[in-house]
């Protein structure tokens, strides 16, 4: 006899992205709003909203770790990741002596 609960459990396939709080929100909120953050006041509003979402996210640390890895590998990413904006992530990398100046500037 097969236990129905076990048939659909695939922990090796589940991605941490599936548990991300932002998957249920407007993607613009993490990238400065609908205009992409060109208006400072609007960008600040959306950034704060994004940070609040991140603070309640069960995978925030994992998200931030991935963002920092991407920041190092391909340059600083736009948007709020793990509750941190680009400048905050750059500061974290500098604190850990991981920042290399040859990376794209802010
Ligand atoms: S920490 Fe923020 S950006 Fe990262 S997955 Fe969670 S809600 Fe999304």
Domain parsing of the chain, residue ranges: 15-95
What is the pLDDT, as a whole number, of residue 5?
Answer: 43
Mutate to test the pocket of ligand 1, among 78, 83, 86 (most ligand atoms within 8 A of CB): 83
Number of other residues whose CB lies within 10 A of the CB of residue 73: 8
Q: What is the pLDDT of residues 38-50, one digit of tens each?
A: 889 999 999 999 9
List the residue whose alpha carbon is closest to atom 3 of ligand 1: 81
Among 70, 54, 65, 63, CA closest to 22: 54
Give the pLDDT band of residue 103 (cuts 50, 70, 90): low
Tokens representing residue 25 in the block: 């929100």
The answer to whether residue 101 scores a pLDDT higher than 80 is no
Q: Indicate whether residue 49 lines ligand 1 (CB < 6 A).
A: no
70 close to 91: Cβ distance less than 8 angstroms: no
Instruction: Say what the pTM is.
Output: 0.80
The answer to whether residue 58 scores a pLDDT higher than 60 is yes
């Amino acid at each position: 006899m097969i236990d129905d609960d076990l048939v659909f459990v695939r922990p090796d396939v589940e991605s941490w992205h599936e548990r991300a709080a932002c998957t249920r929100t407007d993607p613009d909120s993490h990238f400065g709003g609908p205009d992409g953050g060109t208006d400072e006041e609007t960008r600040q509003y959306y950034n704060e909203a994004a940070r609040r979402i991140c603070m309640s996210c069960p995978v925030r640390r994992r998200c931030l770790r991935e963002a920092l890895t991407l920041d190092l590998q391909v340059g600083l990413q736009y948007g709020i990741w793990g509750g941190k904006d680009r400048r905050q992530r750059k500061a974290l990398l500098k604190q850990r002596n991981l920042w290399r100046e040859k990376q794209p500037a802010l």
